[in-house]
Amino acid sequence: MTNLLLLQALNGLQFGVLLFLVAAGLTLVFGIMDFINLAHGVLYMVGAYLVATFAGLTGSFWLGIVIALPVALVFGLLLEVLIFRRLYDRSHLDQVLATFGLIMIVNEGVKIIWGAAPLSVPMPDLLSGSVPLVGMMQYPVYRIAIIAAGLLTALGLYLMIGHTRIGMLLRAGASNGKMVSALGVNIRRLFMIVFGFGAMLAGFAGAMIAPILSVDPGMGESVLILTFVVIVIGGIGSIRGAFIAAILVGLVDTLGRTFGPILLRMVLDPSAASQTGRTLAPMLIYILMAAILFFRPAGLFGRKS
Amino acid sequence: MIALAPRTRLLVAAVLFLLFAALPFVAAGTDDHFLVITATRVMVFAIAALSLDLILGYGALVSFGHAAYLGIGAYTVAILSSNGVSDLALQMLAAVLASAVFALVTGAISLRTKGVYFIMITLAFGQMAFFFFVSLSSYGGDDGFTLQARSTLMGTALLENDRVFFYVTLAALVLLFLFANALIGSRFGRVLTGTRENPLRMQAIGFTPFRYQLTAYVISGCMAGIAGVLLANQTEFVSPAFMTWHRSGELIVMVILGGIGTLVGGILGAAAFLMLEEWLAIFSEHWRLAMGVILVLVVLFTRGGLTGLLRRLLGGRA
């Protein structure tokens, strides 16, 4: 039982850091420019497809990632220049409509280029084994690598945002974009940097997860909704909030699916418990979100508007 | 926000409804049965979009979980008819009640938040409803549930006739439009619109915005529930796919595309969206690409959606 708990906690942590990588860019975009980008999930998907392609071409997962990241960055910047910068001054609804259209374009574009069938990315040999955890239990090295990469990125972001000049501008921009702009900072350029960087982080998350998940045209959408849940729970614009919320959502979702039915069996008969467990497990994070917003309408680290 | 004068709104709606009413005759003339089925589908979604426009356009409440009510309405039909209650009126009543309860509970919680947080919390409730029906294994779970037959109309199987079903759907659309139109013109509607513009001021002059917003939210949910009942009858199939977040997004798209806060905009938007879907699909299996491009272009180059365009065509008098 303790082993299972540890195993699932690690899986939850891995899921959480992945969500954080996608959420970090989205929450800054949202916080600084007040821009609802439904298309953020496609950047994650594009990252996965790019690594699948470049790893296939070069025969090396590592080279694949090294090439995929700048390409994801360029793709993000291209979207910013072509579409997004025309939408900052528009209403949230216009942004929803345009980015919804963009999802359709990119999803269909991916199907045209790579086909609708899922692709698989071979795991790099270096990370393909497992390590003993406690006693008899083994844990895949690759998942540990994802956790490590995610935590390192989070640490890097923390240092950048807390201790550099650009980080200071980001924090100020997320709190009060108009004021920062009035102080003579080119907030549009700042935003372009953030947007490109956020696209790259989301692409990185997609690239990292590609070897343990099949790469398919719908993968961006499932992660998008979870990412929104994360940034809303954390409080829009707050990187710290996004990190805590991402880990929380990852753990609650993973542990809920495993231990929900076990806990329910203590109060219900087995068949009712498994039925109820199956019903409740996917709803858990949404229940969590509704509960948190009920008590803190602007999220855990959000500012009251 | 494109405001249509009430008279223009009624005029545009009357033209639309007359066009709809004439469609089966056109279809009979050209022997195009598919047209009636497509038009019925358009009207069902027009009801859902109309219900969303009521809260989105007049209350500034962006519900991103509105497809949940389509699902609640549809599953009411499935559950009741497989338990021997096949009367359409009874099913509608049950669907309205179920939608009202869901809207009352989730609306009361959601309305504590504002703006983007409201969008996201309604999405969360929509997802909860989605996963609830996915896990409903006695009604097919993920795969959905095929209905034995359409609902009965006063004990008869009249609805099996696609043309009768078309006119029943049209009648529902017209009645719900007139209801929404009356609601917007009433004191209630003016308080709701006033709250959209400035909640603090409404509070200061003695109204409780929360109560009005919640009432509007519940009414809107009930209307969308009715659309769900009709949708289940049209496809003779219910599935959690009726209520994915993507479908909620499409409803918002229909309203924005048609023009927010105009009532007729929802109808126009639903028609435009679904017809475009049908039409583009003729040319390529990759029609979604073109659809996406059109949506982006509509946002970038038109203001106020199709109704805004219509208004400009009418020379801005409307």
Nearest to A154 by CA among A243, A69, A229, A241: A243
The answer to whether A206 faces chain B, any CB pair under 8 Å, is no
The answer to whether A275 faces chain B, any CB pair under 8 Å, is yes
Q: How confident is the model over B57-97, as pLDDT tens digits?
A: 898 899 999 999 999 999 999 999 989 888 899 999 999 99
State the total domains in chain B. Answer: 1
| Domain annotation covers residue A130 | no
Cβ contact A93–B260 (<8 Å): yes
Query: Per DSSP, what are the bridge partners of residue B209?
Result: none
Distance of residue A232 Cα from the nearest chain B Cα, in angstroms: 7
Mean per-residue pLDDT over chain A, rounded: 88
Distance of residue B71 Cα from the nearest chain A Cα, in angstroms: 16
Euclidean distance between CA atoms B25 and B234, whole angstroms: 20
| Domain annotation covers residue A300 | no
**Block residue for tokens 């980080």:** A167
Q: What is the mean pLDDT of residues B135-156?
A: 84
Cβ contact A289–B300 (<8 Å): no
Facing residue for B296 by CB, picked from A102, A283, A287: A102
Q: Which chain B residues touch A294 with a CB distance below 8 Å?
A: 109, 112
Euclidean distance between CA atoms A184 and A38, whole angstroms: 30
| Domain annotation covers residue B246 | yes
DSSP letter at B236? T
- Distance in Å from the first CA to the final CA of chain B: 14
Tokens linked to A93: 């609804």
Query: Residue B102 has what pLDDT?
Result: 96
Provide the ipTM: 0.84
| Domain annotation covers residue A131 | no
The answer to whether A287 faces chain B, any CB pair under 8 Å, is yes
State the total domains in chain A. Answer: 1
Query: Residue B254 has what pLDDT?
Result: 92
Q: What is the mean pLDDT of residues B46-62?
A: 93
**Gyration radius of chain A's alpha carbons:** 20
Distance of residue B168 Cα from the nearest chain A Cα, in angstroms: 31
> Residue B131 above 70 pLDDT?
yes
Q: How confident is the model over A34-77, as pLDDT tens digits?
A: 888 989 999 999 999 999 999 989 989 999 999 999 999 999 99
3-state secondary structure of B245: helix
Query: Residue A241 has what pLDDT?
Result: 92
Query: Residue B12 has what pLDDT?
Result: 86
Tokens linked to A248: 């929380």
| Domain annotation covers residue A180 | yes
Distance of residue A64 Cα from the nearest chain B Cα, in angstroms: 27
pLDDT bin (cut points 50, 70, 90) of residue B316 is low
Euclidean distance between CA atoms B114 and B200, whole angstroms: 14
| Domain annotation covers residue A30 | yes
* CATH code where residue B268 lies: 1.10.3470
Percent of residues, chain A, with pLDDT higher than 90:
39
pLDDT higher at B207 or B313: B207
| Domain annotation covers residue A275 | yes
**Within 13 Å, how many C-alpha atoms sit on residue A276's CB side?**
15
**Residue B245 domain boundaries:** 6-314
| A-contacting residues in B 258-287 (Cβ below 8 Å) | 260, 286
Q: What is the mean pLDDT of residues B17-26?
A: 87
The answer to whether A142 faces chain B, any CB pair under 8 Å, is no
Burial B165-182 (b: 16+ CB within 10 A, else e): bbebbbebbbebbeebbe
Spell out, as residue ranges, where chain A has pLDDT lower than 50: 305
Mean per-residue pLDDT over chain B, rounded: 88
**Residue A194 domain boundaries:** 1-123+137-295
pLDDT bin (cut points 50, 70, 90) of residue B3 is low
Q: How confident is the model over B158-205, as pLDDT tens digits?
A: 887 888 999 999 999 999 999 999 999 999 999 998 888 888 888 888
* CATH code where residue A146 lies: 1.10.3470
3-state secondary structure of B152: strand
Cβ contact A97–B132 (<8 Å): no
Euclidean distance between CA atoms B123 and B84, whole angstroms: 33
The answer to whether A103 faces chain B, any CB pair under 8 Å, is yes
Q: Which chain A residues touch B295 with a CB distance below 8 Å?
A: 97-98, 100-101, 104
Q: Which chain B residues touch A105 with a CB distance below 8 Å?
A: 288-289, 292-293, 296
Facing residue for B121 by CB, picked from A94, A107, A293: A293
Residue B123: C-alpha distances to residues A23, B110, B218, B281 (Å): 17, 10, 16, 29
Long-range contacts made by residues A218-221, C-beta under 8 angstroms, separation at least 24?
Answer: A218/A107, A219/A44, A219/A45, A219/A48, A220/A41, A220/A42, A220/A43, A220/A44, A220/A45, A220/A46, A220/A103, A220/A106, A220/A107, A221/A41, A221/A103, A221/A107, A221/B246
Is residue B154 packed enough to be buried (19+ CB in 10 Å), middle (13-18) or exposed (0-12)?
exposed
pLDDT bin (cut points 50, 70, 90) of residue B1 is very low
Which residues are within 8 A (CB) of B22 and not within 5 positions of it... i.e. 6 or more apart? none
**Within 13 Å, how many C-alpha atoms sit on residue B105's CB side?**
9
Facing residue for A102 by CB, picked from B112, B245, B292: B292
Distance of residue B197 Cα from the nearest chain A Cα, in angstroms: 15
Euclidean distance between CA atoms B22 and A128, whole angstroms: 66
Euclidean distance between CA atoms B303 and B241, whole angstroms: 31
Cβ contact A283–B131 (<8 Å): yes
Query: Residue A263 has what pLDDT?
Result: 83
Q: What is the mean pLDDT of residues B115-139?
A: 88
Q: How many CB atoms neighbour CB A68 within 10 A?
A: 26
Distance of residue B266 Cα from the nearest chain A Cα, in angstroms: 14
| Domain annotation covers residue A104 | yes
**Cβ contact A107:B288 at 8 Å:** yes
Euclidean distance between CA atoms A59 and A70, whole angstroms: 18
| Domain annotation covers residue A259 | yes
Nearest to B124 by CA among B59, B72, B64, B73: B64
The values of phi and psi at residue A130, to 5°, are: -130, 160
What DSSP string describes A195-227? HHHHHHHHHHHHHHHGGGS-B-TTHHHHHHHHH
Percent of residues, chain B, with pLDDT higher than 70:
96
Residue A94: C-alpha distances to residues A31, A81, A199 (Å): 17, 17, 21
Facing residue for A286 by CB, picked from B124, B257, B289: B124
